[in-house]
Structure formats: structure tokens, C-alpha cells
Amino acid sequence: MKYFLAIIGGGPAGYTAAEIASKAGKDVVIFEQNALGGTCLNVGCIPTKTLLYGAKQYYNATHADKYGVKTEGVSFDYAKMVQRKMKVVRKLVAGIKQKLNNEHCTVVMGAASVVSRNDEQVLIACGEEQYEAENLLICTGSNNFVPPIPGVKDNPAIWDSTLALDSKELPQSMIIVGGGVIGMEFATLYHELGVPVTVIEAMPTILPNLDQEVVAILLEKYRKAGIQILTDTKVTEVQGNKVLTTNGEYEAEHILISVGRRANMQGLDALNDIEIYRGGIVVDEFMRTNLKNVYAAGDVTGKIMLAHVASRQAEVAVGRMLKQIPLQRIAYNAIPSVVYTNPEIACIGLTEKDLNEIKEGDFAPSMSTDEPFVPYEVHKLPMTYSGRFVAENEGETGLCKVIVDKRSKTIMGVHMIGNPCSEFVAAASFAVRMGYTVGEFKQVVFPHPTVGEVLREVIAEL
Ligand code: NAD
């Protein structure tokens, strides 16, 4: 049988594509070597958020006094937290299996590799079998990057995020190399469970790609709480449990390396003429590679390594294969991102740094030479402008910052810190995606009392 579509990789990109194409009546075969759900469901977003939720319950219980709640003798069972994490993962993976359980979708568990391709078909091998398809969608994801630092390789003290999530025992102490998203989420988990944490970041700041005013609030809180955060610090060598840096030596039971991920090109050797840029497969706006009928979606494209980007890319790719009208495109300018620290950080759109770096020609130049090419205004309020925030976030101030185009008053970016901003950043995403102006956004009614009202409050002042 010749399939309409073969998909390598069953993560958010792969399973989304398989579901859409098979539900449209096209025969699909999807290959997965580990477990459906990919990194996100099995060793990424979901297990991390499950453990973080457990840690937050413990942390809140031990800090309940400020809410008038007396707790004594509170303790936690980490092995049970890990067990619960596994239960959550199993449940969600079963949900994916269910979604793909239809007559047009064949799920093959095993490592697939491309045997050959031409403009009419692609041949894929998995185990003893070969599969023929009209189109190929590569969704092989990414792997943790292991930096070439002496002493890292084959060192039992070194963990990556997968090993950290697998461990049924909490480390006695932890050094985290890389203060990016993974690093800061694990710093939160371990700190809230009482583990001494040191974060070592090479750049002058943690979370370097985010709004730095928001990051500064997190940094101040975490440092005050006792997390040791070293910035501008390079790791030169690891000797067992000891980390040698440009800023002194540090020791911990485990060392978590979280310095980014790299596209996974496993099984793709036969596609030796596929275009690659900085390790990721190059795709156009419809997720097409330079090879006819070969598409790629998700982390393997090396674009923005987020599950929600992967699934949207998959929708766009399948829409193009099915020649759906109107053809869909992905709006990379309107991708929200959340960091599950405590407090949470949630962002969408341009930062001030982005705007200051925009080069002539990227946008229409403004009239004044002193101004950045997109003259912008920044408006902000502490989250305490929301009654619900004050009621629930004792001792926190939070921040909600909105960036608008000075000329058109279009909302270009929203950057927030404060719980639970991850839950209402979608409202800001909607505004940025649809190109709403301040005037249009003001017509939207937010329920009261909610923390999200702060967003409307900032915009209402404009
Ligand atoms: P990242 O790119 O977010 O952060 C890596 C950090 O390591 C950077 O701050 C970088 O400056 C630093 N670094 C690099 N080399 C270093 C070195 N030798 N010493 C010290 N610091 C060094 O990568 P990540 O945190 O590993 O996450 C990987 C991917 O997974 C990212 O694309 C991320 O967005 C995604 N992710 C997203 C979420 C979420 O959406 N909540 C959660 C986890 C991971």
C-alpha cells in the first residue's frame, strides 16, 4: 500500500499531523521509536510541570502562615511525586494513542530510517518492513546538547533533564549549568523542595532572550530566597562532582547540564541533499524542505523549540499537503512562551531589545532619526493592580508590561511576571496575532476579579 503521508517522530508535531491528515481521510503511517508524545509528553513539558506542581504544593504548605493557615510537620515523598508524574504521562500518552486510533492511521513503534526518495515517493524502513509514501514529514525533534567541556562525558555526576526527571531520589545538592528555560525550571523544582541550588550561566543574565525587566524581578527573588545564581561565568572543566569555572569552584551531588538542544537528524542519512542551516532542516513558510514532497516540523527545524510551535507547524504542513484554501501560515511574531518558575513568566511578541535592534528596511523607518525604526511606547503596571492578584499573591508585586507601536498604537509585545500569567498570556497572543490596536483591545471585557484584568488595566491607561 502507498501511504499519502509518512511521518517520522510521534511528538507534538508528528501526532498533530497524523491526526489531522488521517481525519481528513488520507492514509498515514507514523513511526515512533520510544513513546508517542515525544519529548514534551514523556521527558519534557508534562513531567516537569507535574513535578513542579507537587513542589509548589509543598512550598505553599510550608509558606501558608501568611494566609492564616497553620501547618506543622509538613513533609513530602519525592518517590510518590515521581510515581504521580509517571501516571500523568501514561494517561496523556494513552490519550494520544486514542486520537490516532482510526482506520486511516497506522502507528509503527520502532526506529525508522529513510531508504530512498524521488519526486514521486519516499521509501522508509522500520524493522523488517518497508513503507512507501507520497509525502514525508520529518518530526524527529531534538536532543539535549552536551557541551564539549572536559570531564562532562561519561561522568555519573552529570545529569541532563531526562535523567533528572527519571531519578526517584532527590539530589542532596545541585549545580545547574545553563540558566535558560530548562535550567530555571529545575532550579525552581529543587529549591522548592529544599535542595541547595547553584545556577551557572555564561551570559551576563539568566533567560537572556526574555524581557530583562521581568527577568530582574525573578533574579532578585531567587537570590534572596537563597538560590546561588552566577552570571557571566563559564565552566572550564568538571572533575567528578566539582565544577571549575571562570568564577571559582563549586561542588554538588549532581550537575545538570541545560545549555540548549540540537535538532535530531537520526534516520535521515539517505536525504544527504536536504538543506541544513545551523543544524536544523531549512523549511519555507509551508514547512517544505528543498526536496519535493519532503516537509519538516518541530524542533528538527531548529526554529523555536516549543511544543506549541511544533504542533502549529504540523498544521501548516498538512494544510499545504492537502492544498487547503486558504493556505495556512505560521505567525512567528505571535508565539507565546512561558517559563514555569515561581512566579511564572509569560511573554508574547517583541521585546524592547528586539525593537532597538531592528535594522533599517526591516520595518518602515520612522520620521525622526533619534527614534528606533519602530517608534514604540512601553506601558507597565505591577500585577497588584489586580484585586485577585493581591488576594492570592502575598508579598509579590509582579509586573505586566505592554509594548505598543507609537504611531498606530498596535500591541506588539506583552511581558509579564506573576502567578498565574501563563493562563492569560493567550489573551495577549490573540491581540498580537490579530494586530489589535489599543482601542480595539479596550473593547474586550475581562471577568472580575481575575489576575488577567491587569492586562486590560495597562492598556486602558493608554
Ligand atoms: P535555552 O537555550 O533556553 O538556555 C540555555 C542557556 O544556557 C542559555 O541561557 C545559555 O546562555 C546558557 N549556556 C550555554 N552554554 C553554556 C555554558 N557552557 N555554560 C553556562 N551557560 C551556558 O536551552 P534549554 O534551557 O536547555 O532549553 C532547550 C529548549 O527547550 C529551549 O528551546 C526551550 O525553549 C525549550 N523548553 C521550553 C520550556 C517551556 O516552554 N516552558 C521548558 C523547557 C524547555
pLDDT in tens, 55-80: 999 999 999 999 999 999 999 999 99
pLDDT of residue 363: 61
Question: At 367, is the pLDDT very low, low, confident or very high (cuts 50, 70, 90)?
Answer: low
Instruction: Indicate whether residue 186 lines ligand 1 (CB < 6 A).
Output: no
Domain end, chosen from 259, 281, 311, is at 259
Please give the mean pLDDT across all residues of the chain: 96
Phi, psi of 177, rounded to the nearest 5 degrees: -95, 115
- Indicate which CATH number applies to the domain containing 382: 3.30.390.30
User: Could you identify the atom of ligand 1 that is nearest to the CA of residue 203?
Assistant: 11
Domain end, chosen from 244, 259, 274, is at 259
Q: Could you tell me which residues are beta bridge partners of residue 339?
A: 345
Mutating to test ligand 1, I would choose from 259, 262, 303, 308 the residue with most ligand atoms within 8 A of its C-beta, which is 259
Determine, yes or no, domain membership for 127: yes
- Indicate which CATH number applies to the domain containing 138: 3.50.50.60
pLDDT of residue 461: 87
Question: At 358, is the pLDDT very low, low, confident or very high (cuts 50, 70, 90)?
Answer: confident
Mutating to test ligand 1, I would choose from 159, 165, 182 the residue with most ligand atoms within 8 A of its C-beta, which is 182
Determine, yes or no, domain membership for 329: no
- What grid cell was written down for 179? 540558566
Amino acid at residue number 265: M
Determine, yes or no, domain membership for 369: yes
Mean pLDDT of 184-206: 98
Is residue 273 pLDDT above 90, yes or no? Answer: yes
- What grid cell was written down for 215? 527577568
C-alpha triplet 81, 82, 86: angle, nearest 5°: 115
Candidates 1, 105, 89; CA nearest to 48 is 89
User: Are residue 248 and residue 305 in the same domain, yes or no?
Assistant: no
Q: Could you tell me which residues are beta bridge partners of residue 280?
A: 277
Write the pLDDT tens digit of every residue in 136-146. 999 999 999 99
Determine, yes or no, domain membership for 449: yes
Question: At 368, is the pLDDT very low, low, confident or very high (cuts 50, 70, 90)?
Answer: low
H or E element that contains 316:
helix 307-321
Order of strands, edge to edge, in the sheet holding 158-159? 158-159, 254-257, 174-177, 197-200, 228-230
Cα gap 338→321, rounded to integer Å? 31
Percent share of the chain, pLDDT over 90:
94
Write the pLDDT tens digit of every residue in 221-242. 999 999 999 999 999 999 999 9
Instruction: Indicate whether residue 235 lines ligand 1 (CB < 6 A).
Output: yes
Burial profile 186-198: b = 16 or more Cβ within 10 angstroms, e = fewer: bbbbbbbbebbbb
Cα gap 282→61, rounded to integer Å? 48
Is residue 135 pLDDT above 60, yes or no? Answer: yes
- What grid cell was written down for 155? 561522568
Which residue has cell 514521486? 120
Query: Which residue's CA is the nearest one to ligand 1's atom 8?
Result: 180
Residue 358 DSSP class: P
User: Could you identify the atom of ligand 1 that is nearest to the CA of residue 180?
Assistant: 4
List helix spans (H) across 146-193. 161-166, 181-192
Q: Rg of the Cα trace of the chain?
A: 24
pLDDT of residue 165: 98
Contact assessment for residue 164 and residue 36, using Cβ atoms and an 8 Å cutoff: no
Candidates 257, 269, 264; CA nearest to 305 is 264
Determine, yes or no, domain membership for 379: yes
User: Are residue 112 and residue 181 in the same domain, yes or no?
Assistant: no
User: Are residue 79 and residue 171 in the same domain, yes or no?
Assistant: no
Is residue 366 pLDDT above 60, yes or no? Answer: no
Mean pLDDT of 339-353: 97
Mean pLDDT of 155-183: 98
The set of residues, in sequence order, having a beta carbon less than 8 Å from that of 320 and lying 6+ positions away, is 286, 287, 288, 295, 327, 328
pLDDT of residue 219: 98
Instruction: Indicate whether residue 243 lines ligand 1 (CB < 6 A).
Output: no
Instruction: Indicate whether residue 82 lines ligand 1 (CB < 6 A).
Output: no
What pTM was computed for the model? 0.96
**Annotated catalytic residue, options 104, 254, 379, 448:** 448
Which residue has cell 484585586? 387
Query: Which residue's CA is the nearest one to ligand 1's atom 9?
Result: 180
Mean pLDDT of 166-170: 97
pLDDT of residue 370: 64
Instruction: Please give the distance, rounded to the nearest whole angstrom, from the Cα atom of residue 100 to the centre of ligand 1.
Output: 31
Mean pLDDT of 243-272: 97
Instruction: Indicate whether residue 179 lines ligand 1 (CB < 6 A).
Output: yes
Cα gap 248→261, rounded to integer Å? 26
Write the pLDDT tens digit of every residue in 101-113. 999 999 999 999 9
Instruction: Please give the distance, rounded to the nearest whole angstrom, from the Cα atom of residue 395 to the centre of ligand 1.
Output: 29
C-alpha triplet 230, 236, 239: angle, nearest 5°: 100
User: Are residue 204 and residue 220 in the same domain, yes or no?
Assistant: yes
User: Are residue 355 and residue 434 in the same domain, yes or no?
Assistant: yes
Contact assessment for residue 9 and residue 93, using Cβ atoms and an 8 Å cutoff: no
The set of residues, in sequence order, having a beta carbon less than 8 Å from that of 303 and lying 6+ positions away, is 280, 283, 309, 313, 332
Domain end, chosen from 233, 259, 285, is at 259
Q: How far is CA 410 from CA 253, 373, 396, 428, 440, in A?
A: 50, 15, 30, 12, 9
Residue 191: active-site member:
no
Query: Which residue's CA is the nearest one to ligand 1's atom 17?
Result: 202
Instruction: Indicate whether residue 338 lines ligand 1 (CB < 6 A).
Output: yes
User: Are residue 236 and residue 305 in the same domain, yes or no?
Assistant: no
**What sign for the dihedral angle of Cα 150, 164, 298, 418?**
negative
Q: How far is CA 13 from CA 17, 72, 296, 366, 444, in A?
A: 6, 46, 9, 39, 32
Domain of 226 in residue numbering reads as: 158-259
Contact assessment for residue 363 and residue 376, using Cβ atoms and an 8 Å cutoff: no
Write the pLDDT tens digit of every residue in 378-418. 999 999 999 999 999 999 999 999 999 999 999 999 999 99
User: Are residue 112 and residue 8 in the same domain, yes or no?
Assistant: yes
Cα gap 107→248, rounded to integer Å? 51
Instruction: Indicate whether residue 201 lines ligand 1 (CB < 6 A).
Output: yes
Instruction: Indicate whether residue 298 lines ligand 1 (CB < 6 A).
Output: no
Query: Which residue's CA is the nearest one to ligand 1's atom 40?
Result: 338
Instruction: Indicate whether residue 259 lines ligand 1 (CB < 6 A).
Output: yes
Instruction: Please give the distance, rounded to the nearest whole angstrom, from the Cα atom of residue 399 to the centre of ligand 1.
Output: 23
Domain total in the chain: 3
Instruction: Indicate whether residue 341 lines ligand 1 (CB < 6 A).
Output: no
Is residue 306 pLDDT above 70, yes or no? Answer: yes
Residue 64 DSSP class: G
User: Are residue 249 and residue 268 in the same domain, yes or no?
Assistant: no
Contact assessment for residue 241 and residue 257, using Cβ atoms and an 8 Å cutoff: no
